[in-house]
């Protein structure tokens, strides 16, 4: 019956993995991204284009390199955006992702984050919106995509972010959720999104930001996590991958850098854990969502 050891799902960080932050390489990587892509890859990732713009701009700003990105003039779409978001709220307070009607707590977060940035949170039925998100809270303190769904670090980030923006963080069981979140840390130092999943650098953001929002970031072994994130860098191309040795992409680059910022790296601008944007940007528009202490 006795066995000496089970294979825990985790990675092993090689001794020659990167252990310093290669900021210049990452800035070069993002600045050049897209310009060299061949037709096929570019097409494959087209559905990510809008998100990609956000990832690229945000990470460059965090690194103080925003000036290297091309600027474009955006028309004043504010009212249309508010109406669009408002129109997506359902009777039970949930939000659809678009006109086709898929419900997910991610969209609740996107809705209130969008409106908060525009200063138009009053456009929606706040009580109902909160009621729906709270109905997605599970026995372990976590949140899923819909009521009754499995707790997932990404959804938890969205829901704690939502509750922060709407001033409802007191409804969270911070100790219980904090415990679930810090159980995401594996021996390698990396974080996963659910039990028995491999660590992934983007969870350094989803989990870490959630912990910061609920005031429990000190429950994580910060040094080990930093070690893991640094090991996910590619010394040759720049950028971060989901885990050491894999291919890099802008998505993981943003969340790797943002995670390091939350851990206190002084070479990176402070990042806001709710919006995943530089704090100075939010200060400029006077947006300071609640955090638990």
How many helices (H) does the chain have, and how many strands (E)?
12, 2
* Nearer to another protein (CB atom), residue 161 or residue 178: 178
Give the interface size with another protein as a residue count (CB under 8 A): 35
For the beta carbon of residue 36, count every other beta carbon within 10 angstroms: 8
246 binds another protein (CB under 8 A): no
The SS3 of residue 73 is: coil
* Nearer to another protein (CB atom), residue 155 or residue 261: 155
Rounded Cα distance between 275 and 160, Å, is 11
183 binds another protein (CB under 8 A): yes
Closest contact distance (angstroms) between CB of 243 and another protein is 16
First to last CA, the chain: 46
Backbone dihedral angles phi then psi of residue 191, each to the nearest 5 degrees: -115, 140
Rounded Cα distance between 1 and 171, Å, is 44
Rounded Cα distance between 258 and 202, Å, is 9
286 binds another protein (CB under 8 A): no
Closest contact distance (angstroms) between CB of 47 and another protein is 5
One residue of 83, 102, 127, 280 binding another protein per CB under 8 A: 102
Closest contact distance (angstroms) between CB of 182 and another protein is 11
**Residue 103: strand pairing partners:** 96
196 binds another protein (CB under 8 A): yes
Ranges within 105-144 binding another protein (CB under 8 A): 139-140, 144
Rounded Cα distance between 275 and 173, Å, is 21
Closest contact distance (angstroms) between CB of 147 and another protein is 8
8 binds another protein (CB under 8 A): yes
Ranges within 22-41 binding another protein (CB under 8 A): 38-40
47 binds another protein (CB under 8 A): yes
Backbone dihedral angles phi then psi of residue 89, each to the nearest 5 degrees: -75, 135
Q: Tell me, residue by residue from 143 to 182, as one string, x for binding to another protein by CB under 8 A and - for no binding.
A: -xxx-xxx-x-----------------------x------
Structure tokens at 122: 């009053």
One residue of 86, 120, 197, 222 binding another protein per CB under 8 A: 197
Residue 231: name the closest of 223, 241, 221 by CA. Answer: 241
Backbone dihedral angles phi then psi of residue 98, each to the nearest 5 degrees: -165, -170
Rule CB under 8 A: which residues touch another protein?
A: 1-6, 8-9, 38-40, 42-44, 46-47, 97, 100-102, 139-140, 144-146, 148-150, 152, 176, 183, 194-197
């Amino acid at each position: 019956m006795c066995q000496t050891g089970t294979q825990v799902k985790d990675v092993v960080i090689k001794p020659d993995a990167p252990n310093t932050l290669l900021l210049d390489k990452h800035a070069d990587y993002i600045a050049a991204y897209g310009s060299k892509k061949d037709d096929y890859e570019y097409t494959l990732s087209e559905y990510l284009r809008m998100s990609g713009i956000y990832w690229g701009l945000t990470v460059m700003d965090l690194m103080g390199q925003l000036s290297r990105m091309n600027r474009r003039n955006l028309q004043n779409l504010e009212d249309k955006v508010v109406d669009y978001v408002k129109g997506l709220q359902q009777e039970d307070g949930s939000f659809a992702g678009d006109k086709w009607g898929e419900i997910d707590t991610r969209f609740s977060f996107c809705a209130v984050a969008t409106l908060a940035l525009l200063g138009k949170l009053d456009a929606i039925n706040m009580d109902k919106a909160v009621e729906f998100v709270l109905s997605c809270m599970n026995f372990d303190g976590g949140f899923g995509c819909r009521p009754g769904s499995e707790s997932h670090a990404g959804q938890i980030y969205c829901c704690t972010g939502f509750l922060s923006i709407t001033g409802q963080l007191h409804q969270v069981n911070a100790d219980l959720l904090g415990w679930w979140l810090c159980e995401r840390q594996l021996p390698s130092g990396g974080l996963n999104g659910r039990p028995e999943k491999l660590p992934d650098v983007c969870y350094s953001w989803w989990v870490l930001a959630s912990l910061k929002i609920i005031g429990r970031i000190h429950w994580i072994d910060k040094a080990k996590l930093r070690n893991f994130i640094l090991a996910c860098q590619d010394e040759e191309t720049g950028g971060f991958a989901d885990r050491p040795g894999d291919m890099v992409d802008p998505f993981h680059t943003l969340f790797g850098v943002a995670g390091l910022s939350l851990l206190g790296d002084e070479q990176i601008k402070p990042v806001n854990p709710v919006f995943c944007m530089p704090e100075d940007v939010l200060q400029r528009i006077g947006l300071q969502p609640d955090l638990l202490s």
